Amino acid sequence: MNLSLARKAIKRQRLLRSHKEFTTYFFEAKEGQEFILGAHHEVMCKTLDKVFTGDIKRLIINVPPGYSKTELAVINFVARGFAKNKGARFIHASYSDSLALDNSSKVKELTQLEEYRDFWEVDLKADATAKGLWRTAEGGGFRASAAGSSITGFRAGRLTPEGQEWSFNGALIVDDPLKPDDARSDTKRTAINDRWENTFRSRLAEEDTPVIVIMQRLHIEDFVGHLLDNSGEKWHLLKLPIRIEGEEEPHENAIQIEHGLPDGPLWPRKHNEEQIKTLEGADEVFHGQYMQEPIVSGGNLFKLETVNDYDEVPKLAWRAIYADTAQKTAERNDFSVFQEWGVTESGNAYLLDQARGKYEAPELEKVAGEFWNKAKKRDIDAFGVLRKLAVEDKSSGTGLIQGLKRKIPVEAIQRERDKYTRALDVVPSFASGLVYLPRNAKWRKSWESEFTSFPDGKHDDQMDPMMDAVCEMCGQPVYSLDNL
């Protein structure tokens, strides 16, 4: 290259500072063609920039297959990492040895390109011929293997010397640790999930060594599901579904990264709306791999096509709030849910609003009161009178009833029949087109995931208050203490 020293210095700093610039520049150098940049690439690049600065130490990116995740988060990330620190150490795992080793070769080849070495000379040790493990002359290195294989004798990152500030010195990068074909196998999923505790964490040089997990969702209990629900750590989560419908609903165990993308296809150059509709034909694959909201196969009691959408609420006769409280407030996977429902004179039920989270007892009462007060502010002429807060008289619900009964009209209800039997009561109401949900609610995707996977899904907390509401508003009684 015929760059002047001054221009080269400026270009070098720009490449080090921007993952977008680094990737587009070296992709063209190694592939001989321009990198086709989509808006989602820019979001991913900005997020990966924050890993290099130390602002993000635990990162999950969920993105559809074929959307350049390996190019950005493995090949170019590692190559840029060596440009920043020739002594950096990386571990890379994927679902197969061949894929991980192929990525290893691509990283090595990039660092040895003439265009790359024009800015940084990352020299490899003389014995760096193996694809699975190679080292730099400055003490850095790259270890690649299948996610299920043993990783010994090598660690990701390096210890920060005492008294020095943290600086980037490597990372653990897990890219699609599970094959789609293996997602339905409890044994294979569990084996990969257990790798976090029994292998991956022990391979970090220090707790501050960054970890990047980038994958398409395959199952509600896949590696990402395991990390969010069971790792005990707060992960930054960038979720990019194939069709953008506003910002994603925040996950209770994650720091949600806003994508800021416009509604519509994530990457129109790859999939337009018509092509996305074709993908919808494979329901389980579409929800998981493409929308990043996996559902459980075999639920099939409720059908998504029986749910009506609404943009504007018609005149309502009356409203009520229905609640499902956690069985044990301190239990990690238990949620509490409050839903505001309204019904028209003709008997159509509208879900108006929802609050969902993991609340300890004092906070549960506070959330309930705030949700009631918010609903109470609606115009009575248009939305009807707010009649009650219906809560199951069980576990944490009993305490909530006692705490609220002097402040707001609380109805204690008994759910004495099993969930499946109660669900059968509301199926005809959905089939008759009597139930409406807000089209663009942030919580809509998680609601749909529970709805389509019931009764086999991991969570069903949003289904209980829904069944109470639809039963009462569409003709079936809710079983309260007063009418038993």
CATH number at residue 411: 3.30.420.240
Domain boundary among 221, 255, 290: 290
Return the amino acid letter for 244.
Answer: I
- Residue pointed to by tokens 């993991």: 358
Q: 3-state DSSP call for residue 160?
A: coil
pLDDT given at position 479: 45
Domain boundary among 290, 325, 356: 290
Q: How many domains does the chain have?
A: 2
Give me the helices (H) in 207-246, please.
Answer: 223-230
Burial 191-222, CB ≥16 within 10 A → b, else e: ebbebbeebbeebbbeeebbbbbbbbbbbbbb
Residue 223 placed within a domain: yes
**Read out DSSP for 466-482?**
HHHHHHHHTT----BTT
The reply to whether 340 and 205 lie within a common domain is no
Per the structure, the complete domain to which residue 264 belongs is given by 5-290
User: Per the structure block, which two tokens stand in for 262?
Assistant: 């416009």
The reply to whether 247 and 112 lie within a common domain is yes
The reply to whether 210 and 99 lie within a common domain is yes
CA–CA gap between residue 343 and residue 318 (Å, rounded) = 6
Residue 480 placed within a domain: no
Evaluate whether 242 touches 271 at the Cβ level (below 8 Å): yes
CA–CA gap between residue 188 and residue 219 (Å, rounded) = 12
Extended beta strands in 136-220, E state: 141-146, 170-175, 211-215
CA distances from 64 to 247, 267, 268, 293, 296 (A): 17, 10, 13, 11, 18
The reply to whether 151 and 213 lie within a common domain is yes
Domain boundary among 290, 325, 350: 290
CATH number at residue 118: 3.40.50
CA–CA gap between residue 57 and residue 406 (Å, rounded) = 47
Residue 483 placed within a domain: no
User: Per the structure block, which two tokens stand in for 44?
Assistant: 């991913």
pTM, 2 dp: 0.74
CB-CB neighbours of 462 under 10 Å: 24
pLDDT given at position 480: 45
Residue 39 placed within a domain: yes
Q: Comparing C-alpha atoms, which of 375, 260, 381, 378 is closest to residue 389?
A: 375
Segments of the chain scoring below 50 in pLDDT? 329-333, 477-484
Residue 342 placed within a domain: yes
Q: 3-state DSSP call for residue 175?
A: strand
The reply to whether 284 and 211 lie within a common domain is yes
The reply to whether 245 and 390 lie within a common domain is no
pLDDT given at position 129: 64
**Read out DSSP for 57-123?**
SEEEEE--TTSSHHIIIIIHHHHHHHHH-TT-EEEEEESSHHHHHHHHHHHHHHHTSHHHHTT---P
Tally the C-alpha atoms within 13 A of residue 92's C-alpha that lie toward its C-beta: 31
Q: What is the dihedral of CA 134, 135, 141, 146, to 10 degrees?
A: 10
User: Per the structure block, which two tokens stand in for 285?
Assistant: 């694959």
Q: Comparing C-alpha atoms, which of 416, 57, 31 is closest to residue 231?
A: 57
CA–CA gap between residue 77 and residue 214 (Å, rounded) = 12
